[in-house]
Amino acid sequence: MTSQHGLSSTVLKVVRTALRKLTARWTSVVVLAGILLSSKAMANDVDDLVWMSGCWALDRQEHGSGENWMQPAGGLMLGVSRVVSNGETVAFEYLRIVTDDGSIALIASPSGQSTTRFELVSMREHEVVFENTDHDFPQRIRYRLEGNGRLIADISGNINGVARTTSFPMTRTECVNSIEEN
């Protein structure tokens, strides 16, 4: 018997069987590729935060105010921040972004207060978000690199049931490694 296309039923069976096998193989390849790509996307690494490294001056703040981040190495980034007002340091913070047991966290030690751990909740190409819902304020810390090369640090959370966000825009600046002699 021939089909309306002039092919015998035997040829049609062979073609259909071959197409099913080919479709099954390609489906397996596509599923495997998706798994590999999503596992790579989920396998966050402190090294992916290299875009944060360097020296950043706080916009609209007195000279000396800003954050400095060392490049990632050994599963760790180290940072320090300082705010200067009227020639005096009014706030400072020691920061670490660490890898512990496969998870990433930001550990903050602000102005002599107790250390607080914020767990990674999302990481994209130029944005990272950490969260600790049990902390008083902030509960969330976000860093993002804007297209104009500015780093924005946002802290947010609730204070007495009221949602608050404070942004700290920063501009990349030269890292000074030594004191210049006069």
3-state secondary structure 77-93: EEEEEEEEECCEEEEEE
pLDDT category of residue 150 using cuts at 50, 70 and 90:
very high
For residues 29 and 42, what is the distance between their CA atoms, to the nearest angstrom?
Answer: 20
Average pLDDT over residues 74-101: 96
Of 74, 93, 73, 72, the closest CA to residue 82 belongs to: 93
Q: What percent of the chain has pLDDT over 90?
A: 68
pLDDT for res 39: 39
DSSP H helices, 43-162, are: none
Q: What single letter denotes the amino acid at residue 14?
A: V
Query: What are the sequence ranges of the domains in the chain?
Result: 1-43, 46-173
Average pLDDT over residues 154-160: 96
Helix count and strand count (H, E) for the chain: 1, 10
- Whether the pLDDT of residue 7 is over 60: the answer is no
Indicate the pTM of the whole model: 0.74
* Cβ within 8 Å of residue 176, ≥6 positions away: 55
pLDDT category of residue 151 using cuts at 50, 70 and 90:
very high
pLDDT for res 38: 40
pLDDT for res 180: 65
Task: Return the minimum-mean-pLDDT range out of 78-82, 98-102, 133-137, 154-158.
Answer: 98-102
Q: From 2.40.128.20, 3.30.40.230, 2.70.180.20, 3.40.50.261, which CATH number describes the 46-173 domain?
A: 2.40.128.20
- Whether the pLDDT of residue 26 is over 80: the answer is no
